[in-house]
Structure 1
Amino acid sequence: MTCDTDILISGGGVAGLTAAAAFGSAGFRVVIVDPTPPVTDENSTGADLRTTAFLQPSQRLLEQAGLWSRLAPFAAPLQIMRIVDAGGVEPEPRVIKDFDAADLSELPFGWNLPNWLLRREMVARLAELGNVDFRPGIGFASMVTRQAHARVRLSDGTSLNCKLVIGADGRNSAVRNAADIGVKTTRYGQKAVVFAVTHGLAHQNISTEVHRSGGPFTLVPLPDQDGRPCSSVVWMEKGPECLRLAALSDADFEAEATARSAGMYGQLKLASKRQVWPIISQIAHQMTAERTALVAEAAHVVPPIGAQGLNMSLADMICLLELAQANPDQLGDAKMMQTYERRRHPEVALRVRGVDALNRTSMLGAPSLRDLRAKGIEALYSLTPLRKSLMKLGLGTGR
């Protein structure tokens, strides 16, 4: 049967748009759909005010996809990952340890960009690719798969045949449900308040995680705003506390955020609206079905710690793209799906467990347990080979 396209991608978020640009740039015919058109302006209703830190391997994929030249002018490099324990009686730094990318290479660990801007530049890149058909406002409805192809019905009533269906449609993935793939979900009773701030002290390209209780308070560098240093913040706490924080006046919120940051960057001033996001951990029982591959949050969700979330997602795409380019005539066949499952699912499971453990450690409230966490940070940092191995593992370049 003649296929209308090589690949159907369900999901027009950052992950799906990246996948479309990557496979399109590699010469594959791609149709990408999403029922919700992407919001590409910071001030528009529904704009995603979170940021994404692309680590080194992900940046290479962005280059292959023709995206990096568009994104680089807006990116803030992440040279140092700083871990701060402020779990004493007062919210003050008592342990500060820096993991410096210079210990591994001449490149920074990664680069941070706003999600709304990523969508803007990625949509513009897709418009340059004649073999990519982006259909915002249209969603995945159902599919029937056969050994040789998949037939997908879309929400506008149209159908198309393709060789591979990629589910990049989030934690409630319609593609995953259609493929009858289950998930294991862990709920922590946490949420995150997400916002941007300016501050008096320069961030010096340092991403800072401040641990006390309830979850980390993470400041990630952004380009300066109106001549002042700027960072994005993810403040994880128990759900009711996050809702309380989000409802505070700007002045009261800034005071509490400054205190929770342990004063690392001086006084914090809001530079954006506040948004609240739920925190869960989730992993699909498998990442493939007949003619179907799951990527990103359709396959795995982790708390926002150590810049693992989207970088795990882009590792999925790197693997899929390598397999597709190695045997284009076998795109989406059983052997390709089996190889993708074998390469990615064990790695994903390991990282989901690892981030789960880190999150639980960051939530510790009892003083004695917080003291133990501080000693653990000291011990991990003091062993140089272990410190370098942890950095490589975080980048996805080693274990």
Structure 2
Amino acid sequence: MKRDETDILIAGGGLAGLTAAAALGTAGFHVTLVDPTPQVTHADDAGADLRTTAFLQPAQQFLEAAGLWTALAPHAAPLQVMRIVDAAVEPHVMRDFDAKDISDKPFGWNLPNWLLRREIVARLETLPNVDFRPEVGFDRMVARTKNAIVTLSDATQVTAKLVIGADGRNSAVRQAQGIRTQTLRYGQKALTFAVTHTSPHNNISTEIHRSGGPFTLVPLPDHEGKPCSAVVWMESGAEVQRLANLPQGALENAANERSAWTYGPLNLVSKRMVWPIISQVADRLTAPRTALVAEAAHVMPPVGAQGLNMSLRDLDCLLELAKAQPGDLGSAAMLNAYARKRHPDIMLRVAGIDALNRASIAGNPMVQNMRARGIEALYGITPIRRSLMQLGLGAG
């Protein structure tokens, strides 16, 4: 059987896989990207991903190097202030973490996922060294001394020096390499949708805590001349399913009450989507000729905008190692270096987000009071506040 040859095969055409292909292709590597699903690049297409993603400062720099940011910037809503509100105590505790305390740039920028897909796919079409194959998936692979032979779902084969598993929390690449995961389940789900409101968001991302998980309003560009935000509403699985099935007016009433009327009346302007909340970490990040990235390697609750930003740190690490020694692509030395660099950061951030999420779930009044006092204490000590903001951006 004739085999195509490539430097890098990426399995998974989600945001992480698409961005990996753009970054590695821009760096000059020959890349084959496969994904078993059709690419959806418009908001009204069936199966469109209506969630949003907040890119923090280091992620924006990575996107710029990949040739993506110029196209994305006009659609991005800046995140200047991260506001935390504990509405479980009286009076409510509210503290603003302002990016100007540590930087002359916003913390990050928020973009709709369907639009990200559209612009990244458009970028891939300009790169002759990137072969993107939607509706073709990873089937199996055999790792050899100098390369790997990958068999795809259409029965074709590709020889690659490095295989990147960017194919999600149920990664076929990870399973093919016999890598297990450690999974924590919280009994939570997230309901996501977009709303317009009467008061401007002023580029403030607002995270409101009571119990069951945070209710987060993330700035979006105006919709039909009205201020607009993305909502991520975390609650128990049963409660999220109930909310997802409410008539529009009833959901809006519930969202207004849960948001403490932060921006005035909220009006639903998108479809609703439901996502399970887990923490999951792969036992290993590598196998012969294979590196795991993004949700194939780690999954976290959507707290603190860490998810995709951690994924881009994985990609940045792989890219720097690949550029440093292109002749060593996919070798044991390169993969061992990747695991050494990424594993401590992944474990630190997964543990931190797990602790924050457990605190946000708490329904016990004593725990809620401790949570509120903790917010006040951390905010009140300037060096600690600044250190936490830097850590959230990816420093340290």
Q: After TM superposition, which residue ranges in structure 1, 4 or more long, deviate above 3 angstroms? A: none
Q: What is the aligned partner in structure 2 of residue 325 from structure 1? A: 323
Q: 2:138 aligns with which of 127, 137, 140?
A: 140
Q: Is the 8 A contact 1:12 1:37 kept in 2?
A: no
> How far off its partner does 1:262 sit?
1.1
State the alpha-carbon separation in 1 of the partners of residues 337 and 89 from structure 2. Answer: 48
Does residue 51 of structure 1 match 2:49? no
State the alpha-carbon separation in 1 of the partners of residues 62 and 199 from structure 2. Answer: 33
> How far off its partner does 1:241 sit?
0.3
Aligned-partner SS, 2:395: coil
- The amino acid of 1:358's aligned partner reads L
Q: 2:188 aligns with which of 190, 199, 209?
A: 190
Q: 2:112 aligns with which of 102, 110, 114?
A: 114
Q: What is the aligned partner in structure 2 of residue 94 from structure 1? A: 92
Q: 1:237 aligns with which of 235, 250, 254?
A: 235
> How far off its partner does 1:172 sit?
0.2
- The amino acid of 2:132's aligned partner reads F
Q: What is the aligned partner in structure 2 of residue 346 from structure 1? A: 344
Q: How does 1:152-191 map to 2 (within 5 A)?
A: 152-191=150-189
Q: What is the aligned partner in structure 2 of residue 301 from structure 1? A: 299
State the alpha-carbon separation in 1 of the partners of residues 255 and 77 from structure 2. Answer: 22
Q: What is the aligned partner in structure 1 of residue 248 from structure 2? A: 250
- Backbone CA RMSD of aligned residues: 1.0
Q: Is the 8 A contact 2:141 2:151 kept in 1?
A: yes
TM-score (norm 1): 0.98
Q: Is the 8 A contact 2:12 2:167 kept in 1?
A: yes
> How far off its partner does 1:192 sit?
0.6
Q: Is the 8 A contact 2:21 2:31 kept in 1?
A: yes
Consecutive unaligned residues in structure 1, runs of 5 or more: none
State the alpha-carbon separation in 2 of the partners of residues 301 and 217 from structure 1. Answer: 19
Aligned-partner SS, 1:305: coil
Aligned-partner SS, 2:186: strand
> How far off its partner does 1:147 sit?
2.0
Q: What is the aligned partner in structure 1 of residue 71 from structure 2? A: 70
Aligned-partner SS, 1:207: strand
State the alpha-carbon separation in 2 of the partners of residues 160 and 38 from structure 1. Answer: 21
> How far off its partner does 1:38 sit?
1.8
State the alpha-carbon separation in 2 of the partners of residues 386 and 262 from structure 1. Answer: 28
State the alpha-carbon separation in 2 of the partners of residues 178 and 226 from structure 1. Answer: 47
Deviations 1:194-243 (A, max 9, x none): 00000111100000100000000001000001111000000000000000
Does residue 202 of structure 1 match 2:203? no
Give the number of aligned pairs: 394
> How far off its partner does 1:3 sit?
7.4
Aligned-partner SS, 1:16: helix
Aligned-partner SS, 2:310: helix
Aligned-partner SS, 1:4: strand
Aligned-partner SS, 2:250: helix
State the alpha-carbon separation in 1 of the partners of residues 334 and 221 from structure 2. Answer: 41
Consecutive unaligned residues in structure 2, runs of 5 or more: none
Q: What is the aligned partner in structure 2 of residue 391 from structure 1? A: 389
TM-score (norm 2): 0.98
